[in-house]
Amino acid sequence: MSLDAVILMLVAMAILWGGLIVAIIRLNRHDLPSLDDVHRDL
């Protein structure tokens, strides 16, 4: 793989997968589900 391609693949991973992780953390910090919620969902 060319260096350009490697860098862009890593940047895409960092932004999209990193963005997902940040979004999940933000959401949970705002309002964490209780054990009761988890039990009820299943």
Partner 1 sequence: MSGMTSTTNEAQRRGAFSSRKVFIFAAIGSAVGLGNIWRFPYVAYENGGGAFLIPYLVALLTAGLPFLFLDYALGHRYRGSAPLTFARLRRKTEALGWWQVAICFLIAIYYAAVIAWALRYTFFSVNEAWGDDPEGFLFGDFLQAGDPGVTLDVVVGVLVPLALVWVVVLLIMALGVQKGIGLLSLWFIPVLFIAFGALVIRALTLDGASIGLDALFSPSWDALAEPGVWAAAFGQIFFSLSIGFGIMITYASYVDRHNDMPGAGFVVGFANSGFELLAGIGVFAALGFMAQASGVAVEDVAADGLGLAFVVFPALISEAPAGALIGVLFFGSLVIAGLTSLVSVIEVVISAVRDKFEMTRVGASMAVGVPAALLSLVLFSTTSGVYVLDIIDHFINQYGILVVAVVSMVVVAWGLRELPSLAAHLNRFGSLPLGRPWYALVGFVAPVALTYVLIDALVADIKEPYEGYPAWMLNVLGWGSAVAVVVFAVAAAQVRWRPETSLDAESDTLKKEIQ
Please report, as ranges, the residues that interact with partner 1 according to CB under 8 A.
Answer: 1-2, 4-6, 8-9, 11-13, 15-17, 19-20, 23-24, 26-27, 30-31, 33, 37-38, 40-42
Q: Provide, rounded to whole angstroms, the least separation between the CB of residue 35 and partner 1.
A: 12
Q: Provide, rounded to whole angstroms, the least separation between the CB of residue 3 and partner 1.
A: 10
Q: What DSSP string runs through 1-32?
A: --HHHHHHHHHHHHHHHHHHHHHHHHHHHH-P
Dihedral pair phi/psi, residue 32, rounded to 5° = -80, 135
Q: Provide, rounded to whole angstroms, the least separation between the CB of residue 11 and partner 1.
A: 7
